Structures are given as structure tokens and as C-alpha cells.
Amino acid sequence: MIENNPDNPGALVIDGLGRADLGVVRALGERGVPVYLATNDFSTPVNRSRFVRGRFAFPDRAQPEAERVLALTAIGRQFAHRPVFFSTGDSSLLLFSRHRGEFEPFFRHHLARTDLLEELNDKRRFAKFAQEQELVVPASLVPDSLDALKAGLHRLRFPVMVKPAEKKYWDKHPEIQRIVGGDFKGVRVATPDELVSLYEALTPYDNRVVIQEYIEGRDEEIFSLHIFIDRNGVPRGWFTGQKIRTYPIHRGVGCFQLSVINRDVYRVGLEALQKIRYTGHAIVQVKRAPYRGTFLIMEINCRYSTWNYLHTRAGVNEPYMAYRDSLGLEVHVAAEQIEGARWIDAENDIRAFSAYRRIGEWTTLAWLRTYVGRNCYAVFAWNDVRPWLGLVLRRWLRVRVRAASPKLAVS
């Protein structure tokens, strides 16, 4: 039995095997919250964070749901007082949401309504839901057949993006990986004929796709509202960030993010969340549509983003707000964010820069200038250096093993 403090029982973070886990762990740990990690891979950088007090083995998302429910319940039984549940991945978020009645005796949480999480997580459902709620979104089509696709082509403005309802549907099919070239977030399609051909290629493996108008423009036109709304529906802290670069470029995950106050992004995002009566932590991603002169909502996420630590560095610690609200404690309204702070995934940003430079969007000098200022990084942090050291050591050993392999084979 873990004899945790009833007034500060700690947080259990499900490791999504990405950068987001480290951001949440540091945001909570820096405020004195004991953090426990549940993971199926004890070699990840977050596992080495000095803020992690304890670790639990937890089945990965490929395992049966019933097995994962039993495992999470078993973890919860080990605490004398209920910790707060945090998830940085869709699979564990939905697992907890769908079985919250079984988990609530062992964990506190700040999740939105189950039905709302389901609507927002599945892109097909969200496309229909957004239209019903009259949210400001790009034109979308959710076809159930090739005939339905052809009948709806006139409603689309090309180019478009073809996206999976959930990335896991594409991830598990080798043939889909070949068709989309590994772009599990979506494929850009320029013409109706190309769209029909792609749909015909995909549907033998997965027809649960969303076709959405592609908003032209550089990646700097993509913004996000990150906000925490308490259980009474009151916004307690918000942060707006701007994507400067992504990897892969123009369609990938942000690798260079900037803290910038944009009240139009805040207004569009908050209006949407209030319309659907959302509570908890949310991310509203928008992109400026030049021909409309406004921002359009691309998606609403309920988990913590890859680069969530930037909020904390900019003075808006949303995980800590969520922690206090989950415990029923007062949550003070956060001060306005610090502008100009940046979050950098340096490894992917170097890869992205090479691609941007080839098409003339970034010069070497302009790219280097963006590194001058108040920065935080995906893995490295002066107050928590072990995750970075562990990552460097692993890669050094991998290089050494590869270098030694030919010599061993010859001998």
C-alpha cells in the first residue's frame, strides 16, 4: 500500500510514449505534486525524470481493453488515497472515460462528459457533431461508400485532406501505411479524381475516413487555444500558441511552437467550448482561412498536447490547475501568459528545416534566429536533466552496436 498524503495524493500519468508525458510530469512535479507513471516501456525519457516517484507496468493499447481495465484498477488499489488521473494519449483517455464508474473509487479526474469525449475523439463523429452545433469548421464530407463520396464532391473545395477517424485504424494496416506513405494524420489531395482513387485504395482496409477542406497557408497560420475550464464551467487559465514549424512539414506535429497572445483564437475556441458545454482541459486547434478572413476550427482535443510544457514555462500551468480542481480545491485564475517563450523538439526541427529550406520557406539565418530567446525543449531541462542524458546514452550505445556489428560478423 502506498501511504500517500490525503491533501496531496499525487497524480498517475499514463505514459503515451511521447513528449507530452514529460511536460505534464514536470508541470506537476515543479509544484510539489508526487507523480507516478504507468507505462509499458520503462526505457522512455519520462521514466528517468526526477519528478517520478513510482512506476507501474501497464499494458499497451494493443492489449485487450478488459486487461487494461483490470491493470489500471489494480494500480489504483495500491494507493491509500485516490490520486488524480492524467492521460496524454487518446487510448488511455478513452479507456478511463468509458469505464469511469469502475475507476472513480480509485482515482480522481477532470475529464469532460463521456459522450462529449467520444464525439470529439472520432473525426467522423466530430465532423457531423460540429455541423450540428454550428461550429466554425472547414467544409467536410463523411462518406459511407464510393457513391456517397461522388455525390458529395460538389460540396468540397479542393485541395482536401483525407484523415482517419482515429489514427489507430491506419496504424495497424501495413497496406494503408504503404498507400499514405506513413502520414497517419492525413493525406493532402489536389483533385476530385485523385480523391476517388485514394478512397478506392483505402476502403478495402478502412472506410472510416473524413474528407476536409485543406486550408492553404504556411504552418505559421496554425494556432491553438489551450484552456482549463473548471467543473462549474468557469475558464481558469488559457494559453494561445502558434505553430512555427512542423514535422513532417505542413501536415505533421509541431516541432517549434511559440507563445503568443491571440485574442481572436481565444474567442473562437472559447465560444465553441461553451456552446458544447465543455469542462476540463481542452485544445482547440485553428487555422487562419485567408479567403474567409477568420479562423476555422480544425479539431478539438481533450488530452494534453505534445508541447504542453510551454504553457507552464509561459506562466499558465494547466496540469496543476486540473490537479487542484480534481481535488475540489480552489483554482485561481492564471495571469496572462508570457509571450515569446518557445518549445522546441530540436531533433525533428532540424529535419523539418531541411525540408522547409528546399522549398524556400526558411533560410538558414532566419531559422537560426528563431532559437535566440526564452526556450524550453522537448526533452532537455536544466532542472530535470536525466531524461536527456538517458536519451543521449541510448543513442550513443545504438551507434556503437551498429558500428561493431560488421566487425563481429567478419570475425
What domains can be seen in the chain, in order of their start residue? 11-109 (3.40.50.20), 139-213 (3.30.1490.20), 219-377 (3.30.470.20)
CB 242 within 8 A of CB 270: no
Map grid coordinates 545504438 to a residue: 398
**What are the cell numbers at 379?**
526533452
Can you tell me the distance from the alpha carbon of 299 to that of 166, in angstroms, rounded to the nearest whole number? 12
Can you tell me the distance from the alpha carbon of 119 to that of 124, in angstroms, rounded to the nearest whole number? 8
CB 186 within 8 A of CB 163: yes
Can you tell me the distance from the alpha carbon of 231 to that of 111, in angstroms, rounded to the nearest whole number? 9
> 11: part of which helix (H) or strand (E)?
strand 11-14
Residue 76 neighbours by CB under 8 Å, 6+ apart: 12, 82, 83, 103, 105, 106, 107
Size of the chain, expressed as the number of residues it contains: 411
Q: How many helices (H) and strands (E) does the chain have?
A: 16, 15
**pLDDT for position 282:** 97
Pairing assessment for the beta strands 209-213 and 140-141 based on DSSP bridges: antiparallel
Return the exposure string of 141-158: e unless at least 16 CB atoms fall within 10 Å of the residue's CB, then b.
Answer: bbbeeeeebeeebeebee
Q: How many CA atoms lie within 13 A of 152 on its CB side?
A: 19
**pLDDT for position 408:** 53
Map grid coordinates 487562419 to a residue: 288
> 275: part of which helix (H) or strand (E)?
helix 263-275
**pLDDT for position 173:** 80
The mean pLDDT values, 10 residues at a time, for the chain of 411 residues are 96 85 96 96 92 95 94 98 94 95 97 96 93 93 93 92 83 83 82 95 88 89 96 95 92 92 97 97 93 88 93 96 96 93 95 96 96 94 95 85 66 53
At 8 the three-state DSSP class reads strand
DSSP state of 395: H
CB 322 within 8 A of CB 280: yes
**pLDDT for position 208:** 87
Residue 319's closest CA among 112, 88, 95? 88
DSSP 176-214: HHHHHTT-TT-EEE-SHHHHHHHHHHHTTT---EEEEE-
DSSP state of 279: -
* Burial category of 100 from C-beta neighbours within 10 Å (exposed 0-12, middle 13-18, buried 19 and up): middle
**pLDDT for position 406:** 62
At 29 the three-state DSSP class reads helix
Q: What is the pTM of this model?
A: 0.90
* Burial category of 325 from C-beta neighbours within 10 Å (exposed 0-12, middle 13-18, buried 19 and up): buried
